């Protein structure tokens, strides 16, 4: 009834187990050398009493919308401890009440000119489409003029 797996499959699985074990050992060695333990950060841990955020009416052109709906999105910006070579992390939250669709995407931006331009482009585009954005960076929001403009506009709307 039982058939013994082919030798090639056994060798493949053995190699996979060796690879996983080596990755674990390399991670442990890196943690030991750097003295750092990876910690998963959730937005709730970073929340302030009054975060720099707010609902923002994007006023998207009519050609961009299929209906006459106004687009609302939320931008949360948090300053975090610096990580060498990291410009920031953006988490995009998209949802649709009608279909029940929900998606969360996280993107890491390295401290390069290309990623700086990409960050300045992707965050405003997401906000204009009604996607909520949570941005974490060691740099102040003034370092990103387009993103800072959304925060300033939202803070004036609160007044």
The pLDDT tens digits for 13-70 are 777 788 888 888 877 777 666 655 455 555 554 444 444 444 444 443 434 445 456 6
Give the CB-side neighbour count of residue 48, counting CA atoms within 13 A: 10
Same domain, 47 and 31: no
Report the distance separating Cα 43 and Cα 76, nearest Å.
9
Same domain, 110 and 71: yes
Same domain, 5 and 59: no
- In angstroms, how far is CA 46 from the centroid of its own chain? 14
Same domain, 28 and 89: no
- Of the chain, the percentage scoring pLDDT greater than 90 comes to 21
- Is residue 6's pLDDT more than 90? no
Report the distance separating Cα 70 and Cα 57, nearest Å.
7
Same domain, 73 and 127: yes
Q: Write down the pTM of the prediction.
A: 0.54
Provide the domain limits for residue 32.
1-38
CA end-to-end span of the chain, whole Å? Answer: 75
Q: Are 89 and 109 in contact (CB under 8 A)?
A: yes
Same domain, 30 and 75: no
Same domain, 53 and 10: no
- In angstroms, how far is CA 40 from the centroid of its own chain? 13
Same domain, 10 and 58: no
Same domain, 19 and 47: no
- Is residue 146's pLDDT more than 50? yes
Helix (H, G, I), strand (E, B) or coil at 152: helix
**How confident is the model at residue 53, as a pLDDT?**
46
- How many domains does the chain contain in total? 2
Same domain, 79 and 49: yes
What average pLDDT does the segment 149-156 reach?
80
- DSSP H/E element including 134: strand 132-137
Same domain, 34 and 2: yes
b (16+ CB within 10 A) / e for 104-138: eeeeebeeeeebbebbeebbbebbbebbbbbbbbe
Same domain, 75 and 88: yes
């Amino acid at each position: 009834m039982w058939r013994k797996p082919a030798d090639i499959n056994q060798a493949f699985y053995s190699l996979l187990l060796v690879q996983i074990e080596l990755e674990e050992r390399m991670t442990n060695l890196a943690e030991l050398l750097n003295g750092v333990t990876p910690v998963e950060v959730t937005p709730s841990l970073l929340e302030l009493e009054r975060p720099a955020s707010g609902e923002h009416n994007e006023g998207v052109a009519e050609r961009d919308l299929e209906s006459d709906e106004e687009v609302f999105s939320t931008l949360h910006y948090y300053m975090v401890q610096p990580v060498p070579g990291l410009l920031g992390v953006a988490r995009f939250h998209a949802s649709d009440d009608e279909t029940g669709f929900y998606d969360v995407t996280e993107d890491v931006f390295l401290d390069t000119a290309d990623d700086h331009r990409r960050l300045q482009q992707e965050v405003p585009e997401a906000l204009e489409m009604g996607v909520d954005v949570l941005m974490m960076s060691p740099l102040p929001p003034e370092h990103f003029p387009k993103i800072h403009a959304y925060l300033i506009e939202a803070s004036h709307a609160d007044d």
